[in-house]
Chain A
Amino acid sequence: MANGSPTAPGISFPRQTFAKLTPGPFLHAHLKQQEPIRASGRSPEDFRKPNINTGSLTHSNGSAVVRVGDTAIVCGVRAEILLASDIPHPPRDDLHEDDLVEDLGLLVPNLELSTGCSPAHLPGSAPGTLAQSLSYRILSLINASNLVRPSDLAVLYTEPQTEDDTPAEEASKVTKAYWTLYIDILCIALDGNPFDAAWAAVIAALQNTLLPKAWWDPDREAVLCSPLAADARQLQLNDVPIASTFAVFSTASPLKRRNEFDSWILADPDSFEEDLCKESLTIVVASKKASCGGILRLEKTGGSVIGKVSMQQCVRMAEDRWSEWKAVMGG
């Protein structure tokens, strides 16, 4: 001070105080150590351990509750009938089978965040940008990954032969209706990274879905279903893709020089870290087939820190995470 007294001893506060007052420097102080560690105690490559519980909802055809750390998401799948005669614009005949599900809109996902899952998401308002964009990302990923075969969702009817047909002619099979799956995803608790958990909940719920046996009744002109469980069939998914999200924490600032910054890639960010990171990367990994490497989607937004080398590291981490999720889901 003014009269040359020795510098005052450092003041120490509990961790929560620093986390609230200066979250950026707090996280930076953790990461810049010899062994980088995050504020929650995880290392930057550690994902949180997932926990899945399926089939707990009685009124859904399929359901799953996924818990990743403190983020908890419930997904319920409901099947309803869409009559082919009600479709205003029937699909073109030359439409590829893989595009039929997308064209008719047979899988309808919706993610609801305004359930009081965190103080920022209180109910009473329409879905905000985050909820809308997450719903849309899930929809586009469902369409891109061709999870469900349209033949699994179609209700066929073999038209009886009339007098005009020759006996040798095959009876024609007409699709009279389609099953529409409403995938309702509710976020019960949010602690960062809702996309990964929501996507895993969708996959687990679809795997758990039971569709009743349905047939077209020509007298009533309606689709009837059998309530017996023995007649119902489990929905088979073509593949089990898994999403992994990474966030980048960087100390770049407009006040410093352009290449004078440190950055760390954090796997599976929680909400404290998400608020501090601008750049994020989502990798969706599917099973390796003969020709393709197994990466279904790569989305990177918010910055340019991740380059080719770090991208390869992240892809490797995402593939390990895929094996971990597959083991939890039971193959």
Chain B
Amino acid sequence: MQADRRRINAPSGGTAPPIFATPKDTPLRRPTRTRKPDEHRKLFLRTGVVPSASGSAYYEIPLQSPQQPELLVPSSSSLKITCSVHGPRPLPRNAAFSPNLLLTTHVKFAPFATRNRRGYMRDAGERDLGMHLETALRGVIIGERWPKSGCEVVITVLEGEEDGWWGDAGGQEGGRAGGWGMMGVLAGCITVASAALVDAGIDCVDMVSGGVAALVQDGQDGTKVGGEAKIILDPSPSEHQNIRAGCVVGYLQSRDEVTEMWMKGDAGTQVEALVDEAVKAASLTRTVLAEAVREAMGLKMGKASEEATGGLKEDKGKKKDVVMTG
């Protein structure tokens, strides 16, 4: 690996992730899906986590299935995404005139986000996610209201979903097409970016929410063969041995429009059913999104009215008015 001159580098010998031996007495239990096929995992969404940004939000899907506490290696991971929106800002002077708001999206996985440590440079997968996110958000922002301005949406994934169960041979691929973890991350990114945009007060047509669905064909007792293909929403890739196809949509519920759709794999004849299921997942996340945004707005209105009547009763230090001379 090239030495990055601007960062502190690894020791020159090169390091490798630890190799774990199979434990003799403790059997490894694969996590299984206990929810119904159309049930979403519990979501946690909060806005206003970065006060210096125009708008920000934090999204988390906590760990669902009980982990094996006797094992050091976690069997599945939660999803933690934080987003900050900076804008609308004026474009630099040498930029060309743009009649619409120039949206720039940036997605980055933290080095500790996945089972194998990632580097600090953005790789192709992250740039691809950024492009998909931009497609999803461009359809919902009213760009004409902000000429000559730019808006930066920055997403940091603190913990990402995996592509498959680590105990599977070649578990990092998890199915023919692979990369299922990224689809779950994209759905989360769309939702959290939408919450951050609302927090920043950028004009939008509606709130876009992300939903993901998959077509799985798990066999009985952990084998790949047999089993019927069924469509589930909000898949956790480590719970399935054989994911045949997956689909992410960015959906506007009140207008019944889809701003972004990404499908991977071979869905055969069930393409439309898969997309419908993803749209259902997006509607479910939208209820959480609306609730979080309403709560945040309520707090903001409360604070604004307090300031207007002149009674800031914060106990962390009263800001006193001073006389400025000169």
- Residues of A bordering B, CB below 8 Å: 10, 15, 18, 22, 25-26, 29-30, 33, 37, 39-42, 46, 57-60, 63, 70, 72, 74, 76-83, 86-88, 104-106, 108-110, 112, 115-119, 122-124, 126-127, 131-132, 135-136, 139, 180, 182, 184, 186, 188-191, 210, 212, 214, 222-232, 271
Task: Give the dominant DSSP class at B's interface.
Answer: loop
Residue contact B84 to A225, C-beta cutoff 8 Å: no
A112 closest partner in B (C-beta):
B120
User: How many cross-chain pairs have Cβ atoms below 8 Å apart between A and B?
Assistant: 205
Which of A57, A81, A119, A182 interacts with B158 by CB under 8 Å?
A: A57
* Binary flags per residue of B107-143, CB closer than 8 Å to A gives 1, else 0: 0101111110100100000000000000000000000
Residue contact A33 to B322, C-beta cutoff 8 Å: yes
Residue contact B106 to A123, C-beta cutoff 8 Å: yes
- Shortest CB–CB separation between residue A18 and chain B, in angstroms? 6
B71 closest partner in A (C-beta):
A227
Which residues in B have their C-beta under 8 angstroms from that of A42? 317
Q: What is the bound-complex CA distance between A32 and B320, given in angstroms?
A: 13
Counting chain A CB atoms within 10 Å of each CB, the highest count among B8, B74, B156, B317 belongs to B8
Task: Give the dominant DSSP class at A's interface.
Answer: mixed
Residue contact B13 to A87, C-beta cutoff 8 Å: yes
Which residues in A have their C-beta under 8 angstroms from that of B112? 57, 59-60, 63, 76-78, 184
- Shortest CB–CB separation between residue A194 and chain B, in angstroms? 12
Contact A210 B72, CB 8 Å, known A59-B159, A80-B18, A226-B21? yes
Q: What is the bound-complex CA distance between A112 and B235, given in angstroms?
A: 32
Residue contact A228 to B9, C-beta cutoff 8 Å: no
Residue contact A119 to B50, C-beta cutoff 8 Å: no
- Shortest CB–CB separation between residue B186 and chain A, in angstroms? 18
Interface magnitude class on chain B: 35 or more
B301 at the interface (CB under 8 A from A): no
Q: For window 220-241 of chain B, which residues contact chain A by CB distance below 8 Å?
A: none
Q: What is the bound-complex CA distance between A37 and B322, given in angstroms?
A: 10
Contact A225 B20, CB 8 Å, known A30-B322, A59-B74, A122-B152? yes
Residue contact B17 to A80, C-beta cutoff 8 Å: yes
Which residues in A have their C-beta under 8 angstroms from that of B324? 18, 22, 25-26, 29
Instruction: Kindly list the 6 A-B residue pairs having the minimum CB-CB distance in the complex, ordered from nearest.
Output: A41-B317, A116-B154, A76-B112, A86-B13, A80-B15, A189-B50
Which of A77, A191, A214 interacts with B51 by CB under 8 Å?
A: A191
Residue contact A78 to B9, C-beta cutoff 8 Å: no
B285 at the interface (CB under 8 A from A): no
Besides A117-B53, A188-B82, A226-B21, 13 more A-B contacts (Cβ < 8 Å) are: A30-B322, A76-B112, A88-B12, A108-B9, A112-B120, A115-B154, A117-B50, A131-B6, A223-B19, A226-B23, A227-B20, A229-B69, A229-B70
Contact A57 B8, CB 8 Å, known A15-B321, A227-B72, A228-B72? no
A43 closest partner in B (C-beta):
B317
Residue contact A72 to B49, C-beta cutoff 8 Å: yes
Residue contact B319 to A41, C-beta cutoff 8 Å: yes
Q: What is the bound-complex CA distance between A32 and B237, given in angstroms?
A: 61
B287 at the interface (CB under 8 A from A): no
Residue contact A190 to B106, C-beta cutoff 8 Å: no
Residue contact A116 to B72, C-beta cutoff 8 Å: no
B77 closest partner in A (C-beta):
A58
Which residues in A have their C-beta under 8 angstroms from that of B325? 29
Residue contact B77 to A82, C-beta cutoff 8 Å: no
* Binary flags per residue of B52-80, CB closer than 8 Å to A gives 1, else 0: 11001000000100000111111001101
Residue contact B106 to A116, C-beta cutoff 8 Å: yes
Q: What is the bound-complex CA distance between A77 and B110, given in angstroms?
A: 12
Which residues in A have their C-beta under 8 angstroms from that of B86? 116, 119, 122
B54 closest partner in A (C-beta):
A119
Counting chain B CB atoms within 10 Å of each CB, the highest count among A26, A63, A80, A190 belongs to A80
Residue contact A39 to B113, C-beta cutoff 8 Å: no
B323 at the interface (CB under 8 A from A): yes
Which residues in A have their C-beta under 8 angstroms from that of B114? 59
Residue contact A122 to B154, C-beta cutoff 8 Å: yes
B316 at the interface (CB under 8 A from A): yes
Contact A186 B72, CB 8 Å, known A58-B78, A80-B117, A110-B120? no
- Shortest CB–CB separation between residue A22 and chain B, in angstroms? 7
Residue contact B72 to A123, C-beta cutoff 8 Å: no
Q: What is the bound-complex CA distance between A240 and B161, given in angstroms?
A: 34
B26 at the interface (CB under 8 A from A): yes
Which residues in B have their C-beta under 8 angstroms from that of A72? 49-50
